[in-house]
Amino acid sequence: MPDCVCLPGCPFFNDKMPDTEGMGAIYKKKYCQGEFEKCARHMVFKALGKAKVPANLYPNMVEQAKTIIAKG
């Protein structure tokens, strides 16, 4: 599995977002260097573009991502 294309500029991957409950390293392995198609940030990026990805959206917030995408 290749790394996520967003990885170099992603605030989550580059530790610009607070680490919630020490999940940062786990999510990086699970999403950024694994199933990035399932990452909430990547979902919004792919559907609407980088500018529409909220600063506080974490990889596991898939329901929020779906709502954002539905609203366009």
Number of alpha carbons in the 13 Å side-chain half-sphere of residue 23 = 12
Give me the count of residues in the chain.
Answer: 72
* Minimum CB–partner distance for residue 5 and ligand SF4 (Å): 7
* Minimum CB–partner distance for residue 20 and ligand SF4 (Å): 13
Residue 7 sits in the site that holds ligand SF4 (CB under 6 A):
yes
* Interacting residue with ligand SF4 among 1, 2, 6, 63 (CB under 6 A): 6
Phi-psi region of 10 (alpha: psi -120 to 50; beta: other; left: phi over 0): beta
Angstrom distance (rounded) from CA 69 to CA 9: 21
Q: Which residues bind ligand SF4 (CB under 6 A)?
A: 4, 6-7, 10, 12-13, 31-32, 36, 39, 41-42, 45, 59
